[in-house]
Structure 1
């Protein structure tokens, strides 16, 4: 660790009254006080991908790995154009960093993006509180004269993540054409332009778009507020082959306009066949569009080692996840959807499909970044759906036959 005598004082006050004092890094040039929901991630690697994941908007992120910052930061390992966390908390900040692509330290990177951070605290004790009491609001203060009691008061006054519509703050405002693949880290893409995908942007991660491009998809990213009539018209005119509904932050039930849009899109079948794939928030929005319900988890699933059972393969997949809400199982089944995946830690819904329409979604992140690649084949399933829609005679095996029901 660097010389702590030169580092400013920083504190994190939780709504339950707990206060953790340490040293500040990142944006410390002036007094900073931010209040947001405090959550934790158990991944051992990929802190830069987490920092730039739009799904963390409006949250203070605590890393459970004890040493963070070893590899510095670089312009490649990012999931969006900026850091989205409101604040960052680590046990120990690496004093030296090394990476062949590195261009700046973690502290310098956070300072550039105007994000305050806290180090030198007992993150194990902090996470035990969050696991026992649930994710809660907290106030992170750097260089602040406010008392501990005042910081706790700010945390208690803040509103919950429940009811928060944050998708509009992180999604695009105008259409974007995406062509980037994973480059040297991915597979050689097939013929470019084979499939035309419309991605509804609620805060999409770049690695999702890279995986689609790698499979020959020309991806047009559109605002999640795009009217259903415009989306359906693209398929009626033969200008699109598939619809992707992205991940994103906040409470899915609060994104009411997008839920209504997806309901109209789903109801266009069979007049218009629209192969649809949803991930994370997109999974929840599709479930709501069907008439299912969602609810807030106690402390969420955030990490790169979350076990999921797939009824389609009969296998257990180790997955990357980042969400604080889930789909209610009973309401989903009552809507006629078929559960395809279940989270083995708590039995929550991790995926579903529709038997009568080419629609499926998962709660986790098959693109990982960071995390394992056990579920990458879901992107191939999406491509197969588009192939079947365009020319049914080209389809091979049926998509997603059940191995063992969940």
Structure 2
């Protein structure tokens, strides 16, 4: 259904090679060759806006008409996948509304086929990601309500997860959408998501809650009232490492919001201390490989312990907080493969004051003096930091940066 099977460059390459042996000077193309070349190039060029209009026409066509014409569910998934590729460019994402394609796309969130509903939510995610204009357009078109319906009550777990992903992108850096989400009992829906057994769904929900608490620390009160701390503590024992990490991060957000005491975290006989002690025991029993992979979890457990009990955890005393080599800079793997630039070799070497004084005392400088210093190139240390996952990402699309 895409109408575009990808570029076929073989013929063009053969034509180019047959007309140049690499030794002669460039020659003028004949009119026939020029016409053939232009036709070959135009045949491989896709008019994206035109193609998006064609996809819009398909989405506007009633389901029964499409089925009567032999259009399958796989075909619909294919056109949505193609549309998602087109709207990766922020200009194309904004043009989707202009050509009348946004409302039909949102309508596909109600398609009778779960795979189509899930794919439509993925396209919406791409359209609104770090894109305030399209975020507003989706809100105006009641897109949040449709996504919330799928997130809360769709019978298919994949559809629910994809809808939550689209909601997370829609509300990011979008205060009106956050307010609308809260008023629609979004926190209660997130709480229910955490009670499922689907790790991927849990991760999405945890990252969304973390972002909301970071943006609105006063929402920690809402989280406490709805029983989120108990759910977070339960998920700290999850078999999924990413779920454990996200649950710990959310517990830490509540302490950062100044609500540790309200949540009962500071009680040395409380549930949180028992949960953290259990995690410390598990960490102590990890293999060296597992310990390396659990670096952030180790640090988060210690940070929570210090925030709640004003003392370092036993991980620090047992040497498990920072393993040997973790605080060292990454190894220099570049300098051995790259020679210093010639300009660096040719640059004059600066002498120390001591050597200058010695030269003045010893008289004229000898040419080709023995033991002359050899210039060397020193590599710089690289420092990296890792951004926490709340669902938020820096995206560069076709030269346009969407800051998160």
Per the normalisation by structure 2, the TM-score is 0.23
Larger Rg: 2
Which structure has more RCO (C-alpha within 8 Å, separation ≥ 6)? 1
